[in-house]
Structure 1
Amino acid sequence: MMTSTDPFTIRGFSYERLAAAGGVRLNVAIGGNGPAVVLLHGFPQTHYMWREVATRLASTHTVIVPDLRGYGASDKPAETGPDTYSKRTMGEDVARIAAGLGHERFGLIGHDRGALVGVRAALDHPDAVEYLGILDVLPTLDTWEVLHGVDAKVAWHLYLMAQPAGLPERMIAAVAEEFFASFLDAWDADGSTFSPDVRRHYIESSMRAVDSIVADYRASAGIDVEQDRVDREGGRKLAMPVGVISQDWGSQLGFDPIAIWGAWSSDLTYEPIAAGHFMAEEKPEDVTRFVRTLAARSSTPS
């Protein structure tokens, strides 16, 4: 292992570039001791979003925090087909890096895009994922199903990045700084969650990853939906304890998050949280408590 001098690394953690699926290598922060838990970041961020939660969890867990493929300092393979950035491939990345560190079983916590990767990893690798924590997102298939009419404008970027390769990448690249900054600003209601340097880190990291970020989103409008539908129609469910915390999006968009997640899990806890979308940075103590409670529930005999 090596210690990075990058200012946007997690204090006290070491870093490795670990082999994932298809020869891709991920930038991974590793710290602590104990049962393994993997933390997956969201958009438009990097693994650094977990810094406060990760250092708290490290007192009792081995904490593994990668940049997803296509993000941060991880490899950004060219999109050669729908599988390149499918959540199935990205979930395989997670299973491989955990196994490469000697952890055949691990907890998995994801925020936003990372949570979608987490759902697919848990469905495809039920023997590896001990428990699954979800922060502020719905399953891929259900996301598209709840978006209707003018209320769907909150997810306008999903539709833009769902378009065939070429145009969305060029459009976003033309105003990349403004594009990525708009989400950090819109989803951070009072502008207090990020320091100026952290905000800049997320924007610049995303600006270097336009093509791969679009490919990630494009997959979620295509192959990811198809794979979710196969699982739903086949009655496949998440086999481990699942915990979900989120903002109260249901009242705005008219859906029942407990019913939606309950269709995927028979061992579910759900709680709304008084926080914005970037809750791991806004309220790290609450998110850490959520992870610890979920981990404890997974180890309690039923």
Structure 2
Amino acid sequence: MTMPAPPASTNGSTLVYDHTGAAVRHGRARINQIRMHYYTAGSGPALLLIHGTPKTSFYWYKIAPLLTPYFTIVAPDLRGFGYTDKPPASNGYDSRTNADDLAELMTQLGHEQFYVHGEDRGAEFAFAVAGLYRDRVLKLSFCEMLLSGVSLDKWSYFTPENTQAQYEQRGVWQWHIPFLWMPNVAEMLITGKEEEFWTFFMENECYNPIAIGREAIQEFVRSSKAPGGLRGILETYRATLVNGQVNTEIKQEPLTLPIMTVGAPEFFGPLVREEMLMVANNVQRSAVFEECGHSLALEAEVRLSDMLIDFMLGQNQTANSTQS
């Protein structure tokens, strides 16, 4: 498979390209009292790509040209991120609100049914889309995340086991969840240090920190410094308890659609598959990408794209299959 070209910049904006070398098509949709920025490219069945924190839709720049020969990709900036509006917290940053945003975006773009891939917090939102819009999501790719109210919270506890977990490749202490939840404190400590904080935050999650290119870091930092940008990121963490309630509601009726999971040993590893087995009964593909960390689409874009294409468009695989 051909490797994607590096991103280019025009007038300070970093561009994303499809497999032909053409720039993706950007737009804005009016959804749930916000304007949501997104881009789309390619042809074929629709694949919704949902980024995590503190990232934006630019996160997919390496994997986009690997997917566009097979899919019409739709990559939005979530509410609070990138070029999408950053409304007051009272408007909601929880997974139900995000799921409603994303489902309405796909409706406006003419995609009644679609595939979904999410990483990090985007995977939790992807789970919510699949659980709340069961007749619309064809297959779910849930990667490098645990669910609020299921297992994620337990990894935020300050215990000897959690603080040592990352050195034993059995999970990672999620210290940042309560820190970023704290009203006013996170703003006070991060403002003016956005570049230092988010660069450390993202690189520390990687097996290969160089895989997150300078262009990507600059784009994510720029977004966090924009008006409302830091608040938008933090509100997704402050919605964690509400997300737990949404997930508890969804798991009362386990998901039945085909699901693929991917973890990385530098972060959640095999815990990702175990998480989906608690809330779904049709986990068809699972992988742990060796020599990889939390940012799969930047650290292992070829492996991830190959697996997505095979899972979404190929024949159903034997349950519980694994890859490395």
TM-score of the pair, normalised by structure 2 = 0.82
1:183 to 192, 201, 215: 201
Contact 2:47 2:71 in 1 (8 A): yes
1:156 to 151, 168, 175: 175
Q: Distance in 2 between matches of 1:171 and 1:251?
A: 27
Q: Distance in 1 between matches of 2:53 and 2:104?
A: 22
Q: Which residue is 1:217 aligned to?
A: 237
Q: CA separation of 1:60/1:162 partners in 2, compared to 1, >3 Å: closer, same or farther?
A: same
Contact 1:39 1:110 in 2 (8 A): yes
1:130 to 135, 138, 144: 138
Specify every segment of 5 or more residues in structure 1 that has no aligned partner in the other structure, as ranges. Answer: none
Kindly indicate whether residue 25 of structure 2 is the aligned counterpart of residue 14 of structure 1.
Answer: yes
Kindly indicate whether residue 138 of structure 2 is the aligned counterpart of residue 118 of structure 1.
Answer: no
Q: CA separation of 1:145/1:135 partners in 2, compared to 1, >3 Å: closer, same or farther?
A: same
Contact 1:112 1:135 in 2 (8 A): yes
> What letter is aligned with 1:76?
K
Q: Which residue is 2:5 aligned to?
A: none
Q: Which residue is 1:266 aligned to?
A: 281
Q: Which residue is 2:3 aligned to?
A: none
Kindly indicate whether residue 43 of structure 2 is the aligned counterpart of residue 33 of structure 1.
Answer: yes
Q: CA separation of 1:93/1:299 partners in 2, compared to 1, >3 Å: closer, same or farther?
A: farther
Question: Matched residue of 1:263: which SS?
Answer: helix
Q: Which residue is 2:296 aligned to?
A: 279
Q: Distance in 1 between matches of 2:310 and 2:268?
A: 26
Q: Distance in 1 between matches of 2:54 and 2:210?
A: 17
Q: Distance in 2 between matches of 1:251 and 1:283?
A: 15
- TM-fit CA distance, 1:196: 2.2
Percent identity reads 23
- TM-fit CA distance, 1:172: 2.4
Question: Matched residue of 1:17: which SS?
Answer: strand
Q: Distance in 1 between matches of 2:277 and 2:48?
A: 23
Q: Which residue is 2:321 aligned to?
A: none
User: Per-residue CA shift, 1:236-283, capped at 9, x if unaligned?
Assistant: 22231111101136889xx85433211111110221112121121122
Deviates more, 1:42-51 or 1:98-107: 42-51
Contact 1:241 1:298 in 2 (8 A): no
> What letter is aligned with 1:259?
E
- TM-fit CA distance, 1:145: 2.9
Q: C-alpha root-mean-square deviation of aligned residues, in Å?
A: 2.4
Q: CA separation of 1:151/1:186 partners in 2, compared to 1, >3 Å: closer, same or farther?
A: farther
- TM-fit CA distance, 1:74: 0.9
Q: Distance in 1 between matches of 2:266 and 2:129?
A: 25
Question: Matched residue of 2:247: which SS?
Answer: helix
Contact 2:205 2:267 in 1 (8 A): no
Q: Which residue is 1:237 aligned to?
A: 254
Contact 1:130 1:298 in 2 (8 A): no
Contact 1:161 1:214 in 2 (8 A): yes
Question: Matched residue of 2:69: which SS?
Answer: coil
Specify every segment of 5 or more residues in structure 2 that has no aligned partner in the other structure, as ranges. Answer: 1-8, 164-172, 318-324
Q: CA separation of 1:194/1:251 partners in 2, compared to 1, >3 Å: closer, same or farther?
A: closer
Q: Distance in 1 between matches of 2:238 and 2:113?
A: 30
Q: CA separation of 1:150/1:135 partners in 2, compared to 1, >3 Å: closer, same or farther?
A: same
- TM-fit CA distance, 1:87: 0.6
Q: Distance in 1 between matches of 2:46 and 2:136?
A: 11
